[in-house]
Amino acid sequence: MARIFRGRRSKEPERKMIVTLDSSVIIAALRKQEERHKECRSLLEKVKDGKFIALEPYIVMIEVIAAMRRRTGSKQLAERVKNDLRSIDTIKFLDLVSFRAEEATEIATEMSVRGMVLWSFKLQRSLMPCW
């Protein structure tokens, strides 16, 4: 005998917007002295709160840590920022593997945009169905 379920239908999983943040956005979010701090902080908080998923190349982590150390002079702060960024579940740090780099160069021949934009575009396009 078939069971009949009444009530709410099961929802499809909520799709999150995928973003890639430039290192300057993360730095501005973390430092009040930076231009556009409030807007950048708001965006980073949306990632942290799970409203967005950030797909970041590892170079962004390196740039943020180096900039924080250089601008503040604090090794401890740079280390804390590194640990904090790694602990945010909705930020995924990814390697740029050769097949993605090759595909990005193909896109570069067709479009007139910066290199990191190409990497971001290609990565988001290839991973979108997975999220």
Do residues 69 and 30 lie in contact, with contact meaning Cβ atoms separated by under 8 Å?
A: no
Distance CA 119, CA 122 (A): 5
Render each residue's pLDDT in the chain as its tens digit; 131 residues: 444 444 455 565 567 888 888 899 999 999 999 999 999 999 999 999 999 999 888 888 999 999 999 999 999 999 999 999 999 999 999 886 666 666 666 666 666 555 444 445 555 555 444 44
> Is 47 inside any structural domain?
yes
83 and 37 assigned to the same domain: yes
Place of tokens 């917007």: 17
Number of structural domains the chain divides into? 2
Do residues 60 and 23 lie in contact, with contact meaning Cβ atoms separated by under 8 Å?
A: yes
Distance CA 22, CA 110 (A): 23
Do residues 62 and 78 lie in contact, with contact meaning Cβ atoms separated by under 8 Å?
A: no
88 and 34 assigned to the same domain: yes
Pairing state between β 17-19 and 91-94:
unpaired
Model confidence, pTM: 0.67
CATH number of the domain residue 56 falls in: 3.40.50.1010
47 and 107 assigned to the same domain: no
